Structure 1
Amino acid sequence: MERRGFIKRMGLGTALFSAAGAVSISALAEEKRKAAPFKMDFAPHFGMFKNHAPGGMVDELKFMADQGFRSLEDNGLLKRTVADQELIGKTLNDLGMRMGVFVIDGGDNWKVSLTTGKQEFLDTFLKTCRDSVEAAKRVNAKWMTVVPGYFERNLPMGVQTGNVIEALKRGAEIFEPHGLTMVLEPLSDNPDLFLRHADQTYMICKAVGSPSCKILYDIYHMQRNEGNLIATMEKTWSEIAYIQIGDNPGRKEPGTGEINYSHVFQWVNNKGFDGILGMEHGNAQPGKEGELALIEAYRKVDIS
């Protein structure tokens, strides 16, 4: 009886040990699966890893964190429901991630041309600024992208510039008390857009004269519009608060085009930049393989 009891107890102990061992091995495997954080704070966007995380926003954020990404950017945040904004904010907080930029009107602010000086456009812009403050609180955001709109052919350039500066001063008054920053993005998508060059954006930021109005330097757009990336960033560096990424041609991940991103990122790091670099581009290849190739591309260009 005692011997059989001893054997039973030994069997039970072995089973428990095996189970515990399995749990430990599983936990170790899970821990090993998580990649080391990137040294530069690259920020993917939703949809970039949809094949690895088909369960939605929370699953995709967890996948991003597991791959070593420390931030997210979401241009369309302002169009999301309050519940979704709060869910994103909570998940980012739980994962220890930061929120990058969102566009202050959900992505179609080119239609609100601050160049015109029209009161209706100014009113819409300022309302959107106030709405953006509330959205920023839900996700702990600090930066919001602003595009001043289209070039107005019936107005002199100086008048358009003055209209934009005055509108941005009003926006800055809304953001300053909350420690939030509009980042102005010169673009290459459409030659009819008003804001196209880094020096032009620098001049406007200096004229607004607020910590809540700075430059979003999108490397893809600036390579297309003016090139000479590092020299241009050096000249305008005091006003650059946020950086976005995309290789040219194609607007895909680093290594798919002509830009020497390893060199650019090393220069940015040497400048002491501790902000976010948004991955505002598509995936060069489809499916899971394309997503893994994208991650590997960023591993290759991350600073050493």
Structure 2
Amino acid sequence: MIPDVKLALHSWTIDTTPLPAVLSAAHKAGYDAVELRRLDFVRCFEKGLSREEVVETIRQSGIELGILGTEYGWFFAPPAERERLFQVLKETCEIAVELGCGMIMSAPGQVVGTVSEAIAATKDAADIVAAHGLKLALEFNSQHDVVNSTNALREIIAGAGRPNCGMLLDAYHLHRGPGIAAGLKDVRGEEVFVFQYSDAPPVPAAGVRRPIDRLPPGQGVIEWDLFLGLVEDMGYRGYLSYEAPNPALWARDPVEVAKDGVTRTKSLLKRGEAANQHSI
């Protein structure tokens, strides 16, 4: 088993659930933390809640905020839109500080551009995050036209040259992109700030940039012994964040979905531990 493994529940896994119920489900299921999105805050704002009220709801929930997402798209946004997105990023950082969360995450979003544009934007984004004493984890999306592999993500992060900026790698996108083995080849634990995970169906949805066909771990075709073994070997010590958006899961009781995720994940971790002991 990965030493000191910490499990987080990503709110997209139970997307149709109001934020207070997301927090309650994560707490009842035994997760160490939650990963929330900017969207979770926006939905609360649209219901008339203030930022202070949302922050207090999370603070009083009994569950830690482990990772907080900002609004996507700043990688390739034109100047005016990028400035708006960076204002959102600043607010996201402020909220993270208020809640004791040290990790901000972002993905490329739906727009495209050049690697040089992404590098320049990442320098500015990482500086904003660093000014709040936080880390920035960047994710690749296997269905994006540009930022679709570990190597592409590495190029952007290396080009930005900011020590508080690292990778967020997702088992689903590794599987659909370069493959688990190729995507994690030579990756060092210190390069990865966050791991997300879910399983992938035998025939995944094609032509969808934000796939919602993800499955609980062990219900699809991902090689979990390989993935978890490589994660352990690299010395990773951060969160494993369970992100499995799927309408079939959204239709179920959120506490049941959350508990099932914990049970399945711990079973796979124990299986991997047993396999390692047998091979010694």
TM-score bracket relative to the smaller structure: 0.7 to 0.9
Q: Does 2:176 match 1:224?
A: yes
Residue 216 of structure 2 corresponds to which residue in structure 1?
253
The secondary structure found in structure 1 opposite 2:10 is: coil
In structure 2, the gaps of 5 or more residues are 45-49, 202-212, 274-280
- Using the TM superposition, give the Cα deviation of residue 41 of structure 1 relative to its aligned residue in structure 2, in angstroms: 1.4
Distance change (3 Å), C-alpha of 1:197 and 1:263: closer
Q: What is the identity, as a one-letter code, of the residue corresponding to 2:27?
A: A
Q: Does 2:134 match 1:180?
A: yes
Compare the two structures and name the one with the higher helix fraction. 1
- Using the TM superposition, give the Cα deviation of residue 70 of structure 1 relative to its aligned residue in structure 2, in angstroms: 0.5
- Using the TM superposition, give the Cα deviation of residue 291 of structure 1 relative to its aligned residue in structure 2, in angstroms: 5.3
The secondary structure found in structure 1 opposite 2:136 is: strand
Structure 1, residues 104-130: CA drift from partner, whole Å, max 9, x if none?
12xxx23x5x336x3213312321221
Residue 65 of structure 2 corresponds to which residue in structure 1?
99
Aligned pairs, number: 244
The secondary structure found in structure 1 opposite 2:118 is: helix
Structure 1, residues 240-281: CA drift from partner, whole Å, max 9, x if none?
111100111241111111112244224323433221111110
C-alpha RMSD of the superposition: 2.9
Separation in 2 of the partners of 1:132 and 1:59? 21
Compare the two structures and name the one with the higher strand fraction. 2
- Using the TM superposition, give the Cα deviation of residue 98 of structure 1 relative to its aligned residue in structure 2, in angstroms: 3.2
The secondary structure found in structure 1 opposite 2:126 is: helix
Distance change (3 Å), C-alpha of 1:265 and 1:98: farther
Q: What is the identity, as a one-letter code, of the residue corresponding to 1:100?
A: G
Q: Is the 8 A contact 1:77 1:103 kept in 2?
A: no
The secondary structure found in structure 2 opposite 1:236 is: coil
TM-score using structure 2 length: 0.75
Q: Does 2:59 match 1:138?
A: no
Distance change (3 Å), C-alpha of 1:68 and 1:48: same
Separation in 2 of the partners of 1:217 and 1:50? 21
Give the one of 115, 120, 123 matched to 2:76: 115
The secondary structure found in structure 2 opposite 1:241 is: strand
Separation in 1 of the partners of 2:70 and 2:257? 30
Distance change (3 Å), C-alpha of 1:277 and 1:290: closer
1:27-176 mapped onto 2 (5 Å cutoff) = 40-46=5-11, 57-58=19-20, 60-75=22-37, 76-79=39-42, 80=44, 81-82=50-51, 83-91=53-61, 95=62, 97-105=63-71, 109-110=72-73, 112=74, 114-115=75-76, 118-149=78-109, 150-152=111-113, 160-176=114-130
Separation in 1 of the partners of 2:268 and 2:104? 26
Separation in 2 of the partners of 1:301 and 1:85? 34
Separation in 2 of the partners of 1:47 and 1:119? 29
- Using the TM superposition, give the Cα deviation of residue 210 of structure 1 relative to its aligned residue in structure 2, in angstroms: 1.2
Separation in 2 of the partners of 1:146 and 1:292? 26
Q: What is the identity, as a one-letter code, of the residue corresponding to 2:152?
A: Q
Separation in 1 of the partners of 2:31 and 2:257? 17
Residue 242 of structure 2 corresponds to which residue in structure 1?
279
Give the one of 149, 174, 195 matched to 1:243: 195
Q: Which has the higher contact order (CA 8 A, sep 6+)?
A: 2
Separation in 2 of the partners of 1:137 and 1:45? 19
- Using the TM superposition, give the Cα deviation of residue 173 of structure 1 relative to its aligned residue in structure 2, in angstroms: 1.6
Separation in 2 of the partners of 1:246 and 1:253? 6
TM-score using structure 1 length: 0.69
Separation in 2 of the partners of 1:73 and 1:257? 23
Structure 1, residues 73-116: CA drift from partner, whole Å, max 9, x if none?
1123442441112221332xxx3x432333212xxx23x5x336
Structure number with greater Rg is: 1
